[in-house]
Structure formats: structure tokens, C-alpha cells
């Protein structure tokens, strides 16, 4: 790797990045050990890495630096004049992208149950994600940080507008648990482990002492009253619910790209549908996974 690839004065030791573009939500965690970091770079060498907006980053491109005598980490590319780029990103450790890993795990789980979901970022984007399930009018609010009860109440009121039920899934350092419990809610906790894009996610319910009962995703279900674990449990609204029984029949899951291609066919005919499809396939075949991912995201907006 040439010295011009990264800024040798950048000593921020950033552990997490985003694949593909500054606005992507595909997280990457670089292992600190040299051997594991080299395997990571070999596997993902065709991707680009960024100080992502959803990590509270500056949007600059990053490179994986793997020195022999120090921990591996991401480094910012220098600006056009070779100078260090300013970056005010606060969270840079191994847990700083966990809201995105938790979001991906929940969306994958919901898809397996047949539910289409929509993710919105904010409050703040660097440590939170809101997953809306329209068929049930349920929001799963993922938060890594936050301690002010007044802040939680504002966010909770916003998310519940229009009659949406909201369940809060809090990271180990998030201090919203008391506020959630005082308003009759179930305190869900999340934790992540592992490195790279395979980082594993678990969620569970916390009791009043803070002890967490971690629950496999296979033993969870979701209804219009929110998340439930196996057995009969009390929902946040105080009703007894049986997991696995949705109050609204879930739609069959469809890849949103298929819906977008069908819409292109309906409006502009077979030629438009084929053009969009081949644009994605061509880039994947040429090894430009980042470009294919960006095209896919653009097509489904």
C-alpha cells in the first residue's frame, strides 16, 4: 500500500467503517489482530471503506492499516493537498456500529417472518435506528446511547404518532431503561460480538435489577403489541398475548428490487426492466460490488 493511500498522521485508531459509500448503512468492523485483519482485507479488498454518516463520521474514505507492531485500524485518506482531514466523529471503538448490526439482524429476522420493514435514521443517526413494520404499525427503536429521560420522552412521542406501538432495544450503555419501564414498557437489550460483517447480534429482556434474559431469534415473535418471546407474556399495553399469532396477517416477503423492476416494467415496458436489471448484474460480474449495492439502493428508494 502506498503512503499516499492513508494519512500517516491520523492516530485516531478508528475500528468501524461503512462499506461502499459515506451514506451506506452496511457496517464493517476491522479486527485488531494482524492475522485476522489481513484475512479481513483479503476478503473485502474489492470494497471501499468510509467514515460513514450513520456513524457520525465526516464522510471521507478510509483505508485499513495493518501495522506489525500495533493494532489494526482504519485511517482517513488525506485531502488533495496531503493534509489530515478534520473529523469530529465521537464513537470509533468496536461497538460504534452496533446499531447498524442490530438493525440488520432485526430486518433479516422480520423478513424471515414475512414482514416488510422500513428503516429511518435519526435521534441521533450515529447511535440509533428506527425500524417500522407497517403491517403491524410497530416500531423497533434501536439505541446505543442516551441517558436523559426528557430526551427519551420526546423521541417516544414522535415515534408513537399515528398510533404506532414502539419497543425500545437498548445497547449496554444506553440509559433509557428507567424511562421505558416507568411508562409501562418492556426493556429490551442488545449486544453484539465478533468481527467483520458476521458480527453476531443477540437481544433479550432486562428485569428491574438489570439482569438480561437473552433470547434466540427463533424464540421471538412480533405482533401489533410489539416484540414477544416464547410463552405467554405481557405486552407493553398490558394485554396477555400468545407469541406467533399476528393480529394482522403479514404480507409475503418480497425483495424490494423485484417490486421496483415490476414497476419499471409497468411504466416503461420490458426494455426498462431489463436495463435496470442488467445494470446491477453487470457490475456484480465485473466485481464492482460497491456500485451494484448503490444502484440497488437507488432503485428501491
Q: Are residues 45 and 155 in the same domain?
A: no
| pLDDT given at position 61 | 94
Q: Are residues 223 and 286 in the same domain?
A: no
pLDDT tens per residue, the chain (301 residues)? 333 444 445 566 899 999 999 999 999 999 988 999 999 999 988 899 999 999 999 999 999 999 888 899 999 998 888 888 889 899 999 999 999 999 999 999 999 999 999 999 976 778 999 999 999 999 999 999 998 999 999 999 999 998 999 999 999 999 999 999 999 999 999 999 986 557 899 999 999 899 999 999 999 999 999 999 875 344 443 333 433 434 333 333 445 555 566 666 666 666 666 676 666 555 555 555 565 566 555 554 5
Q: How far is CA 33 from the centre of its chain?
A: 24
Q: Do 107 and 164 reside in the same domain of the chain?
A: yes
CA distance 34 to 234: 48
137 and 11 fall within a common domain: no
Domain total of the chain: 3
Is residue 83 in a domain? no
The answer to whether residue 86 sits within a structural domain is no
Judge whether 111 lies within some domain. Answer: yes
Both 232 and 262 in one domain: the answer is: no
Q: In terms of domains, do 138 and 265 share one?
A: no
Do residue 136 and residue 40 come from a single domain? no
Range of the structural domain that residue 169 is part of: 98-241
Are residues 125 and 226 located together in one domain of the fold?
Answer: yes
Q: Are residues 225 and 265 in the same domain?
A: no
Same domain, 146 and 60: no
92 in any annotated domain: no
Please tell me whether residues 150 and 208 are part of one structural domain.
yes
Amino acid at each position: 500500500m502506498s503512503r499516499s493511500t492513508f494519512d500517516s498522521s491520523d492516530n485516531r485508531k478508528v475500528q468501524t467503517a461503512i462499506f461502499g459509500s459515506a451514506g451506506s448503512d452496511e457496517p464493517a468492523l476491522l479486527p485488531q489482530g494482524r492475522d485476522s485483519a489481513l484475512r479481513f482485507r483479503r476478503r473485502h479488498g474489492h470494497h471501499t471503506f468510509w467514515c460513514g454518516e450513520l456513524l457520525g463520521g465526516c464522510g471521507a474514505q478510509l483505508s485499513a492499516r495493518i501495522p506489525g507492531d500495533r493494532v489494526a485500524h482504519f485511517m482517513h485518506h488525506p485531502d488533495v493537498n496531503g493534509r489530515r482531514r478534520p473529523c469530529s466523529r465521537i464513537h470509533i471503538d468496536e461497538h460504534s456500529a452496533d446499531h447498524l448490526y442490530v438493525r440488520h439482524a432485526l430486518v433479516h429476522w422480520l423478513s424471515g417472518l414475512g414482514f416488510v420493514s422500513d428503516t429511518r435514521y435519526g435521534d441521533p443517526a450515529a447511535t440509533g435506528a428506527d425500524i417500522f413494520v407497517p403491517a403491524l404499525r410497530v416500531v423497533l427503536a434501536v439505541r446505543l446511547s442516551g441517558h436523559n429521560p426528557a430526551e427519551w420522552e420526546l423521541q417516544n412521542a414522535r415515534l408513537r404518532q399515528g398510533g404506532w406501538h414502539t419497543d425500545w432495544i437498548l445497547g449496554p450503555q444506553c440509559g433509557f431503561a428507567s424511562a421505558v419501564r416507568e411508562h409501562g414498557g418492556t426493556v429490551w437489550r442488545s449486544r453484539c460480538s465478533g468481527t467483520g460483517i458476521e458480527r453476531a447480534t443477540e437481544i433479550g429482556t432486562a428485569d428491574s435489577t438489570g439482569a438480561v434474559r437473552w433470547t434466540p431469534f427463533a424464540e421471538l415473535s412480533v405482533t401489533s403489541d410489539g416484540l414477544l418471546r416464547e410463552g405467554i407474556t405481557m405486552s407493553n399495553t398490558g394485554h396477555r398475548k400468545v407469541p406467533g399469532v399476528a393480529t394482522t396477517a403479514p404480507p409475503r416477503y418480497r425483495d424490494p428490487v423485484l417490486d421496483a423492476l415490476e414497476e419499471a416494467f409497468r411504466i416503461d415496458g420490458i426494455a426498462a426492466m431489463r436495463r435496470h436489471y442488467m445494470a446491477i448484474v453487470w457490475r456484480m460480474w465485473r466485481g464492482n460490488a460497491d456500485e451494484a449495492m448503490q444502484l440497488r439502493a437507488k432503485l428501491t428508494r
